[in-house]
Amino acid sequence: MSSLKDRVTEYLIQLKVKPVMRRLNQSLSFPISANSVKKVLVIMPRNLELLERASNFVQSLRKTYPNWRVELFDVDKLNKDDLNHLQLPRPRIVAKLKQADYQFVLDLNDYCDHLSGFIALMTEAPYRLRLQSQPSFYYNLVFHTQNNGDTLYYDSLLNYLRKLFVRQG
């Protein structure tokens, strides 16, 4: 059972994200041209065991979509001055993320993480993808990863993206 603090935090997060969700409420239709995406934010996994595989995936992503400007975001590099009492990014961080004008956010975490999800949503990117199948209102795309035991692999994710974002010529 969640604590009162967790429930209050969840409620306050909901209040912060509802206006953004209303603005972003749009239907998605795929496949689309990869040229419609210019900037991509990749949220790196917080699970350090996945970091090397995630880095290899990002290299493959950059080779597959050379016209995409792929930027990395490490949630764990945010310091305590960057976070408010709810442990969410302060308005100046959120403003920078929104001003960056990302078209696609890709969260490589292997579990639902409120901080990463909040960051993904607050970019206001039209395409926000997360891994696994747990429901999350922060994202509008979900990819079911292939696991080998307790190990997460990103290989099939690149194939999935090729079906969603088609390269022209």
Residue 140 lies in a domain: yes
Can you give the pLDDT at residue 1?
46
The residue that leads in pLDDT, 36 or 21, is: 36
The residue that leads in pLDDT, 9 or 124, is: 124
Residue 74 lies in a domain: yes
The residue that leads in pLDDT, 140 or 168, is: 140
The CA distance from 154 to 143, in Å, is: 10
Residue 105 lies in a domain: yes
Give the 3-state secondary structure of residue 57: helix
Provide the CATH number for the domain around residue 65.
3.40.50
C-alpha separations of 29 from 18, 120, 140 in Å: 23, 20, 12
The CA distance from 41 to 43, in Å, is: 6
Residue 148 lies in a domain: yes
Q: Please compute the mean of the pLDDT values over residues 122-151 and round it to a whole number.
A: 80
Can you give the pLDDT at residue 93?
94
The residue that leads in pLDDT, 56 or 1, is: 56
Residue 86 lies in a domain: yes
Residue 134 lies in a domain: yes
Pick the range with the lowest mean pLDDT from 3-7, 24-28, 68-72.
24-28
Residue 31 lies in a domain: no
Can you give the pLDDT at residue 23?
65
> How many domains, in total, are found in the chain?
1
pTM given for the model: 0.85
Find the domain containing 142 and state its range: 4-24+36-166
Q: Please compute the mean of the pLDDT values over residues 153-165 and round it to a whole number.
A: 88
Percentage of the chain modeled with pLDDT above 70? 88
Can you give the pLDDT at residue 149?
52
Query: First vs last Cα of the chain: how many Å apart?
Result: 53
Residue 52 lies in a domain: yes
The residue that leads in pLDDT, 70 or 27, is: 70
